[in-house]
Amino acid sequence: MDAIAGTFRTLPPVKTTVEELDDDRVKLSVEVDAAEFEPEVDKAFKKIARDVRMPGFRKGKVPRKVLEAKFGAGIARGQALEDSIPQYFMDALSEHEVDIISPPEYEITGGEEDGDLAFEAVVQIRPTVEISGYQGMTVEVPTLEPGDEDIDARIDGFRGQFGELASVERAAEDGDTVTMDIATTYDGEEVEGLTASDYSYRVGSGGLVPELDDNLDGASIGDELSFDAAHPAPDEDGDLSFVITVKDIQEMVLPELTDELVSDASDFETVEDFRNDIIEKLREQRLEQAHNMWHDLSASQLGELVEMDAPEPLVETEVRNRIEDMAQRLAQSGIGFEQYLQMMGQDIGGLMEQMREPSVSAVKVDMALRALATAEGLEATDEDVDTEFANLSEGTGIPVDDLKTQISTPNQLMLFRADISKRKAADWLLENVSVVDEDGNPVDKDALHPESHDHDHDHDSHGHDHADEEE
């Protein structure tokens, strides 16, 4: 912002100045010549005339002189001030390229009754921050190659679809199915829904009450277990009393993974093909997870370098934007926003509080990206702007000239350039941040781009890449 306090930036009939105040605020002073303001008063009279009925005149056609005689000139001037001051303010913002983050506080300093109009507007602006430490940033992502445990878990999940329960002569473990008699009382009275014979329960499933899993783990056939647990209903006080008799313990016996099982129950003919497909899918999932963490952690760690508090107006705006986005997504799914709040047992205040922490982080990331762009000289060039307009035109089908007309004021262009600069800063950050896996080994960032794996897959499948075909 080029702020020169006390110097007019335009010639009459409208004069504007900007003065920097403390706490990231500025004061815009605007003076409007009486002749320049007169058309605004005339428009105000016409606006008032639309709602006035007077004998001898059609609605909306009462002349200004008649309205002045009946109501006085002040009624229209007040309307003109209300309607025009925000626009004069916006024009002054554009002239001085002031990046505001809160609504203005107006004070009319002259011309409230007649003559030249003068007013001041104090407004909070986006703070400028400096950050350090981003040059040596490192983020950790999952190892791209799946381990044997992950592969075996997927295979066991498949085998589990065809498993059978078999009784065992040992203590119960997580995953076993226990057959038991269960008797539950509350204040000495039997609890109907929690009393049963030959009740089957999988240890570790987290059903009923947590204490049930704790007591069954390690229990043997014939054991009688007694324990108390808090009532699961939130509106009930006191404890439930349980008496459990263990009658049988069964484990899941999984079938052997054979070509026959694979062929009968999947799209593959052999165990090798089936296993290779699992490995490939796990790699794709890990690649997507690592790619997202590379982006997300780079941004969040950069935001943590901002030492100042996130400005409250920006946080409030971010919270509102997030809630509006949520409401739109819910509407697209056919769910009303109020209906969603009822389903979740929340009110709007609770949701806004829930959104606050991620909103603070998002604001700090935005501030940090702007600071990084300035520090590394990544401001948007005229060529960047032209490229962005061309891309927007291609994506929307709107001619470039029409887009430039829509984004034409200095303030609009300032915000437009800021978005480009932040993207350049984000790209710079991803290129310069170090990436390691869980074991601290460096990760090739080129391998984190999904398209590179698609290309490798095409190469493996066809024996050559598409570039060879074109040549």
> For 76-96, how does the pLDDT look when each residue is reduced to its tens digit (9 = 90+)?
888 889 989 999 999 999 889
What confidence score (pLDDT) does residue 331 get? 94
- pLDDT score for 5: 37
Q: How confident is the model at residue 55 (pLDDT cuts 50, 70, 90)?
A: low
Whether 14-124 shares its CATH topology with 271-320+348-462 is answered: no
Residue that the structure tokens 């934007």 belong to: 321
Which of these ranges, 73-77, 290-294, 413-417, 446-450, has the smallest mean pLDDT?
73-77
| Rounded distance between C-alpha atoms, residue 14 and residue 34, angstroms | 10
Q: What whole-number percentage of the chain has pLDDT above 70?
A: 87
DSSP 228: E
| Rounded distance between C-alpha atoms, residue 47 and residue 78, angstroms | 12
Q: How confident is the model at residue 185 (pLDDT cuts 50, 70, 90)?
A: very high
Tell me which of 59 and 456 has the higher pLDDT.
59
pLDDT confidence band for 66 (50 / 70 / 90): low
Interatomic CA distance for residues 373 and 429, integer angstroms: 10
**pLDDT greater than 50 at residue 465:** no
| pLDDT above 70 (res 58) | no
> Residue 417: which of 452, 393, 391, 381 has the closest Cα?
381
Q: Residue 47 and residue 462: Cα distance in Å, rounded?
A: 72
DSSP per residue, 325-363: HHHHHHHHTT--HHHHHHHHT--HHHHHHHHHHHHHHHH
Own/partner contacts of 199-207, CB < 8 Å, gap of 24 or more, are 201/177, 202/175, 202/176, 202/177, 202/178, 203/172, 203/173, 203/174, 203/175, 203/176, 203/177, 203/178, 204/174, 204/175
Rounded average pLDDT over 150-160: 94
408 band by pLDDT with thresholds 50, 70 and 90 = confident
Q: Which range is least confidently modeled, 71-80, 189-198, 281-290, 407-416?
A: 71-80
Tell me: pLDDT of 75 over 50.
yes
Task: Please tell me the predicted confidence (pLDDT) of residue 411.
Answer: 83
SS3 113: coil
Position of tokens 């056919």? 334
Distance CA 268, CA 393 (A): 46
Residue 158 scores a pLDDT above 80:
yes
Q: Is residue 458 predicted with pLDDT exceeding 70? A: no
Closest CA to 378 of 411, 412, 426: 426
With b for 16 or more beta-carbon neighbours within 10 A and e for fewer, the 372-396 pattern comes to bbbeeebebeeebbeebbeebbeee
Its CATH architecture, for the domain 271-320+348-462, is Orthogonal Bundle (1.10)
- Residue 106: closest CA among 88, 122, 83, 84: 122
CATH of domain 14-124: 3.30.70.1050
Give bridge partners of residue 442 from the DSSP assignment.
436
Per-residue model confidence (pLDDT) at position 65? 57
Q: Domain coordinates of the chain in residue numbers?
A: 14-124, 164-253, 271-320+348-462
Mean pLDDT of 254-275: 95
Q: Is the pLDDT of residue 1 over 60?
A: no
Closest by alpha carbon to 130, among 463, 374, 435? 374
Grade residue 461 by pLDDT with cuts at 50, 70 and 90.
very low
Q: For domain 164-253, give the fold.
A: Chitinase A; domain 3 (3.10.50)
Residue 231 pLDDT exceeds 90: no
**Residue 32 burial class via C-beta count within 10 angstroms: exposed 0-12, middle 13-18, buried 19 and up:** buried
The confidence score (pLDDT) of residue 51 equals 62
Q: Which residues of 459-470 are buried (b: 16+ CB within 10 A; e: fewer)?
A: eeeeeeeeeeee
Judged against a pLDDT cut of 80, whether residue 46 lies above it is answered with: no
**462 Cβ partners below 8 Å, 6+ apart?**
none
> What is the reported pLDDT for 449?
79
Ranges 168-177, 241-250, 419-428, 462-471: which has the least confidence = 462-471
Q: What is the structure's pLDDT at 248?
A: 97
Model-wide pTM > 0.85: no
pLDDT at 52: 61
- pLDDT, average across residues 44-57: 66
